[in-house]
Amino acid sequence: MNLTSWNTPTASVASNHPWEAKSLPFSCYNIEMLPVQTTQPPTPKNIWQQLQKPFLILAPMEGVTNPVFRQVIAAAGRPQLFFTEFTNVSSFASPAGHTNALARLTITPTDPPIIAQIWGKNPAHFSTTASQLKKLGFAGIDLNFGCPDRNVIRAGGGAAMIKTPDLAIDCINRAKAATSLPISIKTRLGYTYTEEYQTWIPLLLQQNLAALTVHLRTRKEMSKVPAHYELISGLIKLRDQYSPATKLVINGDIKNRAAALALHQAYPEIDGFMIGRGVFENPYCFTDHQPTREELIKLFLLHLDLFDQAGDTRFDPLKHYFKIYINHFPGANNLRAKLMDCRSTTEVRQVLKSAYLI
């Protein structure tokens, strides 16, 4: 279903982008936030040039940053920019996969400005997909050259592009030629060794990208080692040397707004910061707010309601989010164990009610 047609209860949230913001009714959850953009604004020529640094972005995470969860984050306090989950260009270009691909590219009222992230290895399919994304309402297109997932690598996409630089450049050029939207890339330092960034990053920068997000680990490292902050200065020098106009975004072990601001103070040349797993520790991570248990429960109820309205019959994936809301208070572990046994949002609400949380 097209989620843009939802009549969803939506909290008013912080507006961190240049367009005028308006309030949305959300009194039933008693979540007090600042105004949010309620209507899709005209797409500027280059959204990346509209952002004031240091800007914050919710990292695209497969199975996490879907339309429902983005609305939850918007209610808590949105970043300046959202990304979709990544969409496979060959699925988008295929009659058999097109409908499912479009569902992944749903834009909800609280999303704009939002970037469509795409992946694959077929240059022609990058062209086909890129040509259609502006009319869907996206402000830009990001090419995923960094996903470390084994299945994505086996398919030749994500971080596998680091090992096929000629193919990567072809995909970039075909995407750029097919659209007027700004093209950005999210990647890693290298495939196996951190030293690879010294050749891989300049190659990308020479493609005149609107923005480049670098996850400060290699594909081999996954998330098993600390992010290589010691290489930030080298990345800045490469950006300044090869493409000063490209916005440089850093990703890796940045848990919240405070951590991003601290990094920006140390490296003021960085334009933006991407937060991923930090949302699991605090969904208000794009603000300075430390939520109370009551606020987290209200946010949980919003998540449940939005999930119901989306009409998704796959309940088990929703359980991945429970720890966000049920954590860091006495009895949280036992309560979460009960919630994991639930088979519907109705049962979840009943368990919360029995625990006197609603």
Spatial distance between the Cα atoms of 277 and 93, rounded to a whole number of angstroms: 31
pLDDT digits (tens, 9 = 90+) for 167-202: 999 999 999 999 999 999 999 999 999 999 999 999
Residue 231 pLDDT exceeds 60: yes
Adjacent-strand bridge partners of 115: 83, 140
CATH architecture for residues 3-281:
Alpha-Beta Barrel (3.20)
pLDDT band at 357 (very low <50, low <70, confident <90, very high): confident
The average pLDDT across 240-263 equals 98
pLDDT for position 133 = 98
Spatial distance between the Cα atoms of 288 and 256, rounded to a whole number of angstroms: 8
Query: What is the chain's length?
Result: 358
Count CB atoms within 10 A of the CB of residue 82. Answer: 23
Residues annotated as catalytic are: 147
* Torsion sign, CA atoms 223, 267, 118, 206: negative
Q: Taking all residues of the chain, what is their mean pLDDT, rounded to a whole number?
A: 89
The average pLDDT across 311-318 equals 91
pLDDT for position 3 = 33
Phi/psi of residue 218, nearest 5 degrees: -90, 170
Instruction: Give the residue, 45 or 240, on which the prediction is more confident.
Output: 240
pLDDT digits (tens, 9 = 90+) for 275-304: 999 999 999 999 999 999 999 999 999 999
Residue 252 Ramachandran class (φ > 0 left, ψ -120 to 50 alpha, else beta): left
Tell me whether strands 211-215 and 183-188 are parallel, antiparallel or unpaired: parallel
pLDDT for position 2 = 35
